[in-house]
Chains A and B, each alone.
Chain A
Amino acid sequence: VSHPRHGLDELLQHPVRFSIVALLAASEQAEFGLVRDLVEVSDSVLSRQVATLEQAGHVRVHKGYVGRRPRTWLSLTPLGRSRFAAHVASLEAIVRAAGPAAERARTR
Protein backbone atom coordinates (compact mmCIF):
# COMPACT_ATOMS: atom_id res chain seq x y z
CA VAL A 1 0.00 0.00 0.00
CA SER A 2 1.52 3.31 -1.00
CA HIS A 3 1.65 6.15 1.49
CA PRO A 4 -0.87 8.93 0.80
CA ARG A 5 1.98 11.44 0.57
CA HIS A 6 2.66 10.05 -2.94
CA GLY A 7 -0.60 11.69 -4.02
CA LEU A 8 0.63 15.15 -3.05
CA ASP A 9 1.32 17.60 -5.86
CA GLU A 10 4.92 18.82 -5.58
CA LEU A 11 3.99 22.21 -6.99
CA LEU A 12 1.53 22.75 -4.15
CA GLN A 13 4.04 21.97 -1.40
CA HIS A 14 5.20 25.59 -1.59
CA PRO A 15 3.22 27.51 1.09
CA VAL A 16 2.52 30.64 -0.98
CA ARG A 17 1.48 28.63 -4.03
CA PHE A 18 -0.71 26.45 -1.80
CA SER A 19 -2.43 29.52 -0.32
CA ILE A 20 -3.00 31.02 -3.79
CA VAL A 21 -4.52 27.81 -5.12
CA ALA A 22 -6.60 27.25 -1.97
CA LEU A 23 -8.04 30.75 -2.42
CA LEU A 24 -8.72 30.24 -6.12
CA ALA A 25 -10.26 26.80 -5.48
CA ALA A 26 -13.05 28.48 -3.52
CA SER A 27 -13.55 31.09 -6.26
CA GLU A 28 -14.60 31.21 -9.89
CA GLN A 29 -12.14 34.05 -10.40
CA ALA A 30 -10.32 36.57 -8.25
CA GLU A 31 -8.61 39.85 -9.03
CA PHE A 32 -4.81 39.89 -8.76
CA GLY A 33 -4.73 42.73 -6.19
CA LEU A 34 -7.25 41.02 -3.96
CA VAL A 35 -5.32 37.74 -4.02
CA ARG A 36 -2.15 39.69 -3.18
CA ASP A 37 -3.87 41.33 -0.19
CA LEU A 38 -5.50 38.17 1.12
CA VAL A 39 -2.41 35.97 0.75
CA GLU A 40 -0.30 38.82 2.14
CA VAL A 41 2.52 38.82 -0.39
CA SER A 42 4.06 41.48 -2.60
CA ASP A 43 3.17 42.00 -6.27
CA SER A 44 6.45 40.47 -7.39
CA VAL A 45 6.13 37.36 -5.22
CA LEU A 46 2.58 36.80 -6.41
CA SER A 47 3.58 37.36 -10.05
CA ARG A 48 6.41 34.85 -9.76
CA GLN A 49 4.30 32.15 -8.13
CA VAL A 50 1.36 32.72 -10.48
CA ALA A 51 3.73 32.44 -13.46
CA THR A 52 4.95 29.08 -12.12
CA LEU A 53 1.37 27.88 -11.65
CA GLU A 54 0.39 29.17 -15.08
CA GLN A 55 3.30 27.39 -16.74
CA ALA A 56 2.23 24.15 -15.06
CA GLY A 57 -1.32 24.66 -16.36
CA HIS A 58 -2.85 25.06 -12.88
CA VAL A 59 -3.85 28.72 -13.16
CA ARG A 60 -5.31 30.85 -15.93
CA VAL A 61 -4.45 34.56 -16.08
CA HIS A 62 -6.64 36.91 -18.05
CA LYS A 63 -6.50 40.65 -18.36
CA GLY A 64 -9.36 43.07 -18.83
CA TYR A 65 -10.61 46.53 -18.00
CA VAL A 66 -13.09 47.92 -15.51
CA GLY A 67 -13.82 51.31 -17.05
CA ARG A 68 -10.34 52.53 -17.93
CA ARG A 69 -8.61 50.61 -15.18
CA PRO A 70 -6.70 47.51 -16.21
CA ARG A 71 -7.50 44.43 -14.15
CA THR A 72 -5.81 41.04 -14.00
CA TRP A 73 -7.97 38.07 -13.09
CA LEU A 74 -6.81 34.70 -11.83
CA SER A 75 -8.72 31.45 -11.94
CA LEU A 76 -7.95 27.75 -11.59
CA THR A 77 -7.97 25.63 -14.72
CA PRO A 78 -9.83 22.29 -14.65
CA LEU A 79 -6.40 20.63 -14.33
CA GLY A 80 -5.49 22.89 -11.40
CA ARG A 81 -8.81 22.19 -9.74
CA SER A 82 -8.44 18.41 -10.05
CA ARG A 83 -4.80 18.51 -8.88
CA PHE A 84 -5.78 20.60 -5.87
CA ALA A 85 -8.66 18.23 -5.04
CA ALA A 86 -6.29 15.25 -5.24
CA HIS A 87 -3.74 17.09 -3.09
CA VAL A 88 -6.36 17.88 -0.42
CA ALA A 89 -7.60 14.27 -0.51
CA SER A 90 -4.03 13.10 0.14
CA LEU A 91 -3.67 15.54 3.04
CA GLU A 92 -6.92 14.21 4.53
CA ALA A 93 -5.67 10.64 4.07
CA ILE A 94 -2.41 11.50 5.85
CA VAL A 95 -4.32 12.98 8.80
CA ARG A 96 -6.65 9.96 8.94
CA ALA A 97 -3.85 7.41 8.61
CA ALA A 98 -1.72 9.10 11.23
CA GLY A 99 -4.55 9.19 13.77
CA PRO A 100 -4.57 5.51 14.89
CA ALA A 101 -0.79 5.16 14.46
CA ALA A 102 -0.11 8.19 16.63
CA GLU A 103 -2.53 6.82 19.22
CA ARG A 104 -0.68 3.45 19.22
CA ALA A 105 2.68 5.25 19.61
CA ARG A 106 1.37 7.22 22.60
CA THR A 107 0.06 4.13 24.40
CA ARG A 108 3.15 1.99 23.63
Chain B
Amino acid sequence: VEPDPTNREAAAAALAEVRRRRRQVATAGHHGRRILLAWAALPLLTLPWFDYVPVSVAGTMVAVAAVLFATAVAVYAAGRRLVPRGGTRRYVLTAAAGSAAYVALVLLAATAARQVPHVWTLAGVLESLPWAAGALVDRLLE
Protein backbone atom coordinates (compact mmCIF):
# COMPACT_ATOMS: atom_id res chain seq x y z
CA VAL B 1 0.00 0.00 0.00
CA GLU B 2 1.41 3.38 -0.98
CA PRO B 3 1.51 5.64 2.06
CA ASP B 4 -0.71 8.65 1.78
CA PRO B 5 1.27 11.90 2.43
CA THR B 6 -1.84 13.39 4.04
CA ASN B 7 -1.83 10.50 6.48
CA ARG B 8 1.83 11.16 7.18
CA GLU B 9 1.16 14.82 7.97
CA ALA B 10 -1.78 13.90 10.18
CA ALA B 11 0.31 11.25 11.94
CA ALA B 12 3.19 13.68 12.48
CA ALA B 13 0.76 16.26 13.89
CA ALA B 14 -0.71 13.66 16.25
CA LEU B 15 2.77 12.70 17.47
CA ALA B 16 3.53 16.39 18.06
CA GLU B 17 0.34 16.57 20.12
CA VAL B 18 1.54 13.62 22.24
CA ARG B 19 4.83 15.44 22.93
CA ARG B 20 2.95 18.64 23.76
CA ARG B 21 0.72 16.86 26.28
CA ARG B 22 3.77 15.21 27.89
CA ARG B 23 5.33 18.65 28.36
CA GLN B 24 2.08 19.96 29.87
CA VAL B 25 1.99 17.09 32.37
CA ALA B 26 5.64 17.69 33.29
CA THR B 27 4.89 21.37 33.91
CA ALA B 28 1.65 20.75 35.82
CA GLY B 29 3.16 17.92 37.86
CA HIS B 30 5.92 19.87 39.60
CA HIS B 31 4.24 19.53 43.04
CA GLY B 32 5.87 16.17 43.72
CA ARG B 33 9.29 17.73 43.22
CA ARG B 34 8.42 20.56 45.62
CA ILE B 35 7.44 18.00 48.26
CA LEU B 36 10.77 16.18 47.84
CA LEU B 37 12.68 19.47 48.15
CA ALA B 38 10.68 20.34 51.26
CA TRP B 39 11.63 16.99 52.82
CA ALA B 40 15.26 17.76 51.93
CA ALA B 41 15.00 21.06 53.82
CA LEU B 42 13.52 19.55 57.01
CA PRO B 43 16.63 17.68 58.32
CA LEU B 44 18.86 20.47 57.08
CA LEU B 45 16.94 22.93 59.26
CA THR B 46 16.23 20.75 62.30
CA LEU B 47 19.08 18.25 62.95
CA PRO B 48 21.72 21.00 63.55
CA TRP B 49 19.74 22.05 66.64
CA PHE B 50 21.30 19.09 68.46
CA ASP B 51 24.69 20.80 68.09
CA TYR B 52 23.54 24.01 69.78
CA VAL B 53 20.79 23.28 72.34
CA PRO B 54 20.35 20.53 74.97
CA VAL B 55 19.30 17.17 73.54
CA SER B 56 15.92 17.12 75.29
CA VAL B 57 15.00 20.57 73.92
CA ALA B 58 16.29 19.78 70.43
CA GLY B 59 14.47 16.43 70.42
CA THR B 60 11.16 18.09 71.29
CA MET B 61 11.70 20.79 68.67
CA VAL B 62 12.53 18.23 65.97
CA ALA B 63 9.50 16.06 66.86
CA VAL B 64 7.11 19.04 66.79
CA ALA B 65 8.61 20.34 63.54
CA ALA B 66 8.33 16.87 61.93
CA VAL B 67 4.65 16.49 62.88
CA LEU B 68 3.76 20.00 61.67
CA PHE B 69 5.74 19.46 58.51
CA ALA B 70 4.20 16.05 57.74
CA THR B 71 0.71 17.53 58.21
CA ALA B 72 1.50 20.43 55.88
CA VAL B 73 2.90 18.06 53.25
CA ALA B 74 -0.17 15.81 53.49
CA VAL B 75 -2.49 18.80 53.00
CA TYR B 76 -0.41 20.06 50.08
CA ALA B 77 -0.25 16.61 48.45
CA ALA B 78 -4.03 16.14 48.79
CA GLY B 79 -4.56 19.35 46.81
CA ARG B 80 -2.52 18.13 43.84
CA ARG B 81 -4.53 18.09 40.63
CA LEU B 82 -2.24 15.86 38.63
CA VAL B 83 0.18 13.03 39.36
CA PRO B 84 2.69 12.44 36.56
CA ARG B 85 3.23 8.85 35.45
CA GLY B 86 5.76 7.17 37.76
CA GLY B 87 5.49 10.02 40.27
CA THR B 88 4.17 7.84 43.10
CA ARG B 89 6.83 5.18 42.55
CA ARG B 90 9.62 7.78 42.53
CA TYR B 91 8.23 9.33 45.73
CA VAL B 92 7.98 5.98 47.52
CA LEU B 93 11.53 4.99 46.48
CA THR B 94 12.93 8.35 47.59
CA ALA B 95 11.03 8.18 50.88
CA ALA B 96 12.36 4.66 51.53
CA ALA B 97 15.95 5.74 50.80
CA GLY B 98 15.55 8.95 52.83
CA SER B 99 14.04 7.14 55.82
CA ALA B 100 16.74 4.43 55.83
CA ALA B 101 19.44 7.11 55.57
CA TYR B 102 17.78 9.04 58.42
CA VAL B 103 17.86 6.10 60.81
CA ALA B 104 21.48 5.26 59.91
CA LEU B 105 22.67 8.87 60.17
CA VAL B 106 20.94 9.52 63.50
CA LEU B 107 22.49 6.35 64.98
CA LEU B 108 25.93 7.29 63.62
CA ALA B 109 25.64 10.89 64.80
CA ALA B 110 24.52 9.81 68.27
CA THR B 111 27.50 7.44 68.47
CA ALA B 112 30.03 9.98 67.21
CA ALA B 113 28.53 13.04 68.94
CA ARG B 114 31.41 13.43 71.40
CA GLN B 115 34.22 12.81 68.94
CA VAL B 116 33.10 14.79 65.88
CA PRO B 117 32.35 18.51 66.16
CA HIS B 118 29.11 19.68 64.50
CA VAL B 119 28.21 16.07 63.73
CA TRP B 120 24.45 16.82 63.73
CA THR B 121 24.90 19.62 61.19
CA LEU B 122 26.81 17.17 59.01
CA ALA B 123 24.06 14.55 59.52
CA GLY B 124 21.42 17.13 58.48
CA VAL B 125 23.32 17.91 55.28
CA LEU B 126 23.82 14.22 54.47
CA GLU B 127 20.18 13.37 55.25
CA SER B 128 18.94 16.02 52.84
CA LEU B 129 20.92 14.49 49.97
CA PRO B 130 18.63 11.49 49.13
CA TRP B 131 15.61 13.83 48.96
CA ALA B 132 17.47 16.38 46.87
CA ALA B 133 18.66 13.56 44.58
CA GLY B 134 15.05 12.35 44.23
CA ALA B 135 13.96 15.85 43.25
CA LEU B 136 16.82 16.09 40.75
CA VAL B 137 15.90 12.73 39.15
CA ASP B 138 12.28 13.90 38.96
CA ARG B 139 13.43 17.08 37.20
CA LEU B 140 15.63 15.14 34.76
CA LEU B 141 12.80 12.75 33.88
CA GLU B 142 10.47 15.68 33.17
Chain A contacts to B: CB under 8 angstroms: 1-3, 5, 18-19, 22-23, 25-31, 33-34, 38, 66-67, 88, 91-92, 94-95, 97-99, 101-102, 105
Interfacial residues of chain B within 35-54, with CB under 8 A of chain A in the complex = none
**Complex: how many Å from CA A18 to CA B83?**
19
**Complex: how many Å from CA A8 to CA B67?**
51
Main secondary structure of the interface of A (DSSP, over half): helix
Q: Which of B7, B29, B78 contacts A5 (CB 8 A)?
A: B7
- Give chain B nearest CB distance to A9 CB in angstroms: 12
- Give chain B nearest CB distance to A12 CB in angstroms: 9
Q: Give the residue among B15, B17, B28, B81 with the most A Cβ atoms within 10 A.
A: B81
| CB pair B25 A27 closer than 8 Å | yes
Count B interface residues, CB 8 Å: 31
Top 7 nearest A-B pairs by Cβ distance? A98-B8, A26-B25, A98-B3, A22-B21, A31-B81, A94-B11, A3-B1
**Complex: how many Å from CA A95 to CA B28?**
29
**Residues in A neighbouring B7, C-beta threshold 8 A:** 5, 94, 98
**Residues in B neighbouring A99, C-beta threshold 8 A:** 8
| CB pair A26 B81 closer than 8 Å | no
Q: A25-B18, A91-B15, A94-B7 are in contact. List 10 more A-B contacts (CB 8 A).
A: A1-B1, A2-B1, A25-B21, A26-B26, A92-B15, A95-B15, A98-B3, A98-B4, A102-B8, A105-B5
Chain B contacts to A: CB under 8 angstroms: 1-5, 7-8, 11-12, 14-15, 17-18, 20-22, 24-26, 28-29, 78-79, 81-88
**Complex: how many Å from CA A69 to CA B101?**
37
**Residues in B neighbouring A91, C-beta threshold 8 A:** 11, 14-15
